[in-house]
Amino acid sequence: MKSKKQSASGKGVFISFEGPECAGKTTQIRMLQEYFTKKNIDTVVTREPGGTVIGEELRKIVKHHVGETAVVDEAEVLLFAASRAQHVRKVIIPALSSGINVICDRYSDSTMAYQGYGRGLDLSFIAMLNRFATAGCMPDLTFVLDLTAEESSERIINREETLFLEDRIESAELSFHKRVRQGFLEIARQEPERVKIISAVQPKEAIHGQIIGLLKNVIG
């Protein structure tokens, strides 16, 4: 979705949202998009996996093939990287270069947290793969909406869409989601300037207020 005003620096600001399942990213992205629209700031909202025709096809494969047809861990990490390689070159870099802000629902930190810390794949390989897929294009600011694996699974059960389609990653065991959460916390510990942790277990408006407060340091 696009509104009108471009960033003063001539280069867009890149913001990503991360966190465990059902942390409230979509909700907060919608609120942030409305905030930018009211301020007439030109913004593209996109997501991973997805964001391009190819990426949306890959999204179906990684999320909804279960049982015998489910992807193995080594294929999974490559599919997320393939989606990102397409996305960053076709959508994110062109938007940022035109002075348009980008809000992305999940990005390379998800691969590190889910496939690295969660699945236990080699972290240095994932770091290298992320560099290749992103072409070095990293968010200016990343919000990790944090909640425990137990809180997350309670939200999954209560969410309406859960009734319709089995999600292979969401339905992974609790210990996997605990490792994913620890992964995000570790990424934030390593990159405190870029990655900000916000508790996802507070009213939506309070979370939005914290996001706007942190963004003011970047956007002005």
Binding test (CB under 6 A) with ligand T5A, winner from 14, 15, 21, 36? 21
Q: Which of 41, 42, 48, 129 binds ligand T5A (CB under 6 A)?
A: 48
Residue closest to 109 by CA, chosen among 134, 89, 73, 82: 134
Q: Which residue is nearest to ligand T5A (CB)?
A: 24
Pair 106, 25: CB distance under 8 Å: yes
CA dihedral sign of residues 207, 208, 211, 212:
negative
Please say whether the beta carbons of 47 and 106 come within 8 A.
yes
In the set 33, 101, 102, 106, which binds ligand T5A (CB under 6 A)?
A: 106
Judged by beta carbon, residue 7 or residue 110, the one nearer ligand T5A is 110
Bridge partners (DSSP) listed for residue 45 = 103
Total of chain residues touching ligand T5A, rule CB under 6 A = 23
Contacting ligand T5A within 190-219 (CB under 6 A): 200, 204, 207
Q: Interface with ligand T5A includes 25 (CB under 6 A)?
A: yes
Enumerate the β-bridge partners of residue 77.
none
| Interface segment toward ligand T5A; rule CB under 6 A; list 7-15, 24-32, 87-95, 133-141 | 24-32
Reference 187, options 87, 117, 138, 128; nearest CA is: 117
Question: Of the listed pieces 3-11, 19-27, 95-103, 133-141, which binds ligand T5A according to CB under 6 A?
Answer: 19-27
Candidate list 1, 2, 9, 26; residue touching ligand T5A; CB under 6 A: 26
Q: Does 23 bind ligand T5A (CB under 6 A)?
A: yes
Q: Does 170 bind ligand T5A (CB under 6 A)?
A: yes
Q: Which is nearer to ligand T5A, 9 or 199 (CB)?
A: 199
> Does 116 interact with ligand T5A (rule: CB under 6 A)?
no
Using CA atoms, how far apart are residues 96 and 216, in angstroms rounded to an integer?
Answer: 18
Alpha helices for 44-135 (secondary structure H): 53-64, 73-87, 93-97, 108-110, 123-134
DSSP β-bridge partners for residue 14: 102
d(CA 79, CA 134): 14
Among the listed residues 2, 39, 159, 189, the single contact to ligand T5A using CB under 6 A:
159
